[in-house]
Amino acid sequence: MKKVSQLELDAILSKKKQAYEKGDFEASRLIFQGLNLSGLNFREFKTAKADLINVDLSGANLSKVFWEQSKFISVNFTEAIFQEASLDQSQISDCNLSSCKLWQANLNSVQAYRSSFVSVDGLRVSLIKADFHDCNFKDANFEESTAAKSSFIRSFMQRCRLAKADLRRSGFINSDLRFLNITNANISKSKFIECMLFGIDIKGAITTDSVGKNIDMSLEGDSSNIIKELYFET
């Protein structure tokens, strides 16, 4: 994997920025494959439909970047900073976002597959209508975030913190939600289907019309402990 210096990156971004400002969005696209961009500074860089495959962006500064409708495949974002970044309508596949800083980032309508969000710090992230398939959110912090109408399918969310989050009309399907913290969150009209819910904390949550079906309330998974229909009460 070729290592790119900050000087080399700045030269590339300068040309892309000029194209973006002229309205030539095709020329402004970031198309990177097989590059080591770890620790580099992309702050406030704007592009449309970026295409990044097998790229190392660990520890990179991606604060306030505008990378909407982009595609990220096998990208290492470990410990990257996404403060106030926008990845609206992007696709994230087989990526590692462990320990990222996602403060007030925009991930609306994101489609994420087989990606890690372990120990992410995502205070006040916008995740409206986002879909997560086979993702890992263990120990992630998404407190005070907005994830209305989002879906979490076959996701591992043990000890994930969603306190004070807006989760209205969201769907949790075949996911491990043991010890999930949704205190003071709004989960009204949300659905929990075939999930593990042992130790879930819903104190103070708004639960109007939320329902669980085929719920496993055991610690280790026990088919004899399935609740066919569960109505939440705080």
Report the percentage of the chain scoring pLDDT > 70.
99
Look at residue 234 in the predicted model and tell me its pLDDT.
54
The CA distance from 201 to 161, in Å, is: 10
The model's confidence at residue 227, banded by pLDDT at 50, 70 and 90, is confident
The CA distance from 214 to 234, in Å, is: 20
Q: φ and ψ at 8, to 5 degrees?
A: -65, -40
Q: Are 173 and 196 in contact (CB under 8 A)?
A: no
| pLDDT tens, residue by residue, 79-91 | 999 999 999 999 9
Q: Are 37 and 65 in contact (CB under 8 A)?
A: no
The CA distance from 102 to 44, in Å, is: 15
Look at residue 233 in the predicted model and tell me its pLDDT.
66
Q: Are 190 and 170 in contact (CB under 8 A)?
A: yes
Q: Among 5-14, 102-111, 210-219, which is the least confidently predicted range? A: 210-219
Look at residue 231 in the predicted model and tell me its pLDDT.
77
Q: What is the mean pLDDT of residues 154-181?
A: 97
| pLDDT tens, residue by residue, 71-127 | 999 999 999 999 999 999 999 999 999 999 999 999 999 999 999 999 999 999 999
Q: Which two tokens stand for residue 86?
A: 């926008």
Both ends of the chain: CA-CA distance in Å? 52
Look at residue 97 in the predicted model and tell me its pLDDT.
98
Q: What is the pTM of this model?
A: 0.94
What SS3 state is found at 224?
helix
Alpha helices in the chain (DSSP H): 6-21, 25-28
The model's confidence at residue 201, banded by pLDDT at 50, 70 and 90, is very high
| pLDDT tens, residue by residue, 23-58 | 998 999 999 999 999 999 999 999 989 999 999 999
